Amino acid sequence: MRLLLLFLMIFAMPVLADPFAQGDPKTGKQLFDGAHCNSCHVKIVGGDGSAIFTRPNSIIPDATALLNRIRFCETQTGTRWTAAEETHVAAFLNQTYYHFP
């Protein structure tokens, strides 16, 4: 039993530490900027649009919700990212704003 716990601590914890470990935040930022995502965010919250990520009444409580919201926004805007590109964008947003474990 102790060996199993040790194994989980060593190998499972790094996976839990970054829900978008397969994503590249730099690529995600390029995709985010290239799709002009903030133009919609500015219309919703004003300013530079970043308040949509930091507002107290956020609708994004966890990593799964973040990925689902990215997919929702894709549908609304007609952006057609691959699953890998979605993960890159999620990695960028998580690194920059959300910091989900």
CA distance 28 to 65: 17
Any idea what DSSP says for residue 55? -
CA distance 74 to 86: 9
Q: What is the pLDDT of residue 89?
A: 98
pLDDT digits (tens, 9 = 90+) for 47-71: 999 999 999 999 999 999 999 999 9
Going by pLDDT thresholds of 50, 70 and 90, the confidence category of residue 2 is low
Task: Taking residues 15-27, report their average pLDDT.
Answer: 88
Helix and strand counts by DSSP (H, E) for the chain: 7, 0
Q: Where are the domains of the chain?
A: 23-98
Read off the pTM: 0.82
pLDDT digits (tens, 9 = 90+) for 65-93: 999 999 999 999 999 999 999 999 999 99
pLDDT digits (tens, 9 = 90+) for 27-39: 999 999 999 999 9
CA distance 25 to 1: 37
